[in-house]
Amino acid sequence: MKRRSFLASVAALSAASRNATGVSAAAARVAPAPHTPICPVNNEVVNVRCAPYSAKGDGIADDTRAFTVARSASNTIYVPPGVYNVHGFDGAGASIIGAGRGVTAIQGDGDLITNAVEFNIERVTIRNVKVRGKLISVGPGPDTGRTTFRDIEFGMAASHVYADRACVDWSFENCRFNDASDVSRYIKAAWALKEIGCYSWYNLVGLKVTGGMTLVSIGCVYEFNSSQAIILSAANSGGINNVMFQGTHFESNGNANLTETVRLETVVAERIRNVAFNSCTFLALKGKEHVYAYAGAGGTIARISFRDVFASERLMNSGFSPTLDNVEFNVGSPPSDALVVESLLERIRR
């Protein structure tokens, strides 16, 4: 089934389910899920609340087995309004589609969705309840291919997404990341990583990547992350190459112990090169500088550019190592599209 057709059928099912039971989207945030779900008639998508899966979605029962059995029947699982307790669900090859963030919630203690190889998740809230763990994780192994996260509300966790291997063609679109006590997103090696219209706030670290090529952040906001918003730490063979922050807003990141907004660092003889900040804003710094670059132990950091960037405090550290070169600045007044960034910030906050 084509994705567009599938999403249309899911929307119809969700609306029918709410209308049949009188449960509105707002009420579903606090009320149990409907007891009589509307079940699809095709075999390409399964409703986790339908027999023989029969998830409760009441925020009390453990629905892990229902998700596992549903996954054995189809790669695509529709999760209607409700609160589903899940832990240790094997997400390899699965596609989980909810009825909307704040309407469909997946929760539990510790690690919730593991082995998320070539995985897709959309339109849900996902969070820990008491014990923090990794909400979605991928352990060591061979490269994992296309994985998508769309319209997700990530809540309380140690890490929201933790990938301990090379990740190829991963994308985060219109996601919110809040309350990660460690790093919100850790990716060992990112190849073609995209973050579009995402909001990261009140985490320890927003995003950490230790290798890869072609990383893009477009129209994202990083705010009140208590250590760094971004860490690019070249620790894997090949380093980190070709990174672009476009229309990205950084505000109130770091802390009084001189941490920075963005950290660029090399380990051993690795390299970071071609990092561009275009039409970005850096505000309310709590550390020493917004961008800190360190090329250690023979490492190289090269070709860093700032174009149409506004920074309310010190933008970058001075006293560069001889291996840090080609830093280009074009800063001053707020960029012409600063109002667009602020508008995006207000929309995401709502």
Task: Tell me what pLDDT residue 270 has.
Answer: 87
Global pTM reads 0.84
Task: Tell me what pLDDT residue 24 has.
Answer: 34
Strand partners, 134: 159
What is the C-alpha to C-alpha distance for residues 348 and 193, in angstroms, rounded to an integer? 21
Task: Tell me what pLDDT residue 307 has.
Answer: 87
The full set of domain ranges for the chain reads 132-349
Which regions in the chain score pLDDT beneath 50?
Answer: 1-4, 6, 10, 13-35, 321-323, 335
Task: Tell me what pLDDT residue 60 has.
Answer: 96
Q: Give the 3-state DSSP-derived string for 186-235, with helices as H, strands as E and coil as C.
A: EEEEEEEEEEECCEEECCCEEEEECCEEEEEEECCEEECCCCCCEEEEEC
**CATH code, residues 132-349:** 2.160.20
Q: How far is CA 117 from the centre of its chain?
A: 15
Task: Tell me what pLDDT residue 225 has.
Answer: 96
Task: Tell me what pLDDT residue 188 has.
Answer: 95
Task: Tell me what pLDDT residue 57 has.
Answer: 97
